[in-house]
Structure 1
Amino acid sequence: MKIQCEWCNNSNVKFISDSVYWELPDGSRAIEIKETPTQQCCDCNMIYQSERIVKEIEDQLFLIDCKQIGKVITYDELMKKPRLLKRNYFDFSS
């Protein structure tokens, strides 16, 4: 399956890992999430996360105890944190 860039619609996209900076749901601070699955367009040079990855990060941050997260965490470590709820019951998009 060929992926198209979400910005320029060209298909010259590669998958990389990169750091992203995310504000916690309570707005108290931002954290760095290292090694996050990322897409990079070789035509327009845009670097971004897919909508699926963004939703996974937002849901996970909403469902865990964010006080246990330091200033920096890897994507895999974040996704392995135990959830306080099984799913985001406030997400009506699905």
Structure 2
Amino acid sequence: MTEKCAWCESEKIKKGADDVYWELPDGTRAIKISEVPTIICVNCEMKYQTDLLVKEIEDQLFLINTNEIGPETSFENLMAQPRLLKRNYFDFTS
């Protein structure tokens, strides 16, 4: 089964990286995250992150000390931050 664009269902997609802006879980501010793995649709030109990656970013932001992150960070640096908890104990979806 080939991957399709989540927006237009075209099979003409490629993987890349892009900058995104993310609101912190406490709502105090947003940060820029650079070089985030991104799906790019050649057909409709939509750029987006997979649901799984969005959950990984959300969990990481919930589990780290966000006061130690400046207004901008790379995806690699964000995911390498030490966690205060092993996992998100407040996520009841799994």
Please confirm whether the aligned pair reaches a TM-score higher than 0.5, indicating the same fold: yes
TM-score (norm 2): 0.97
Indicate yes or no: 2:45 matched with 1:27: no
TM-score after normalising by structure 1? 0.97
- Percent of aligned pairs with the same residue? 56
- 1:70 is aligned to 2:70: yes
For residue 56 of structure 1, report the CA deviation from its aligned partner: 0.5
Give CA deviations for 1:57-88 in whole Å, capped at 9, x if unaligned. Answer: 00000000000000110001000000000000
Q: Is the aligned partner of 1:59 residue 2:59?
A: yes
Instruction: Output the aligned Cα RMSD.
Output: 0.8
Letter in 1 for 2:10: N
Matched with 2:81 is 81
Unaligned runs of 5+ in 2: none
What is the CA distance between 1:3 and its match in structure 2? 1.4
Alpha-carbon distance, 1:2 to partner: 2.4
Query: When the two structures are aligned, how many residues end up with a matched partner?
Result: 94
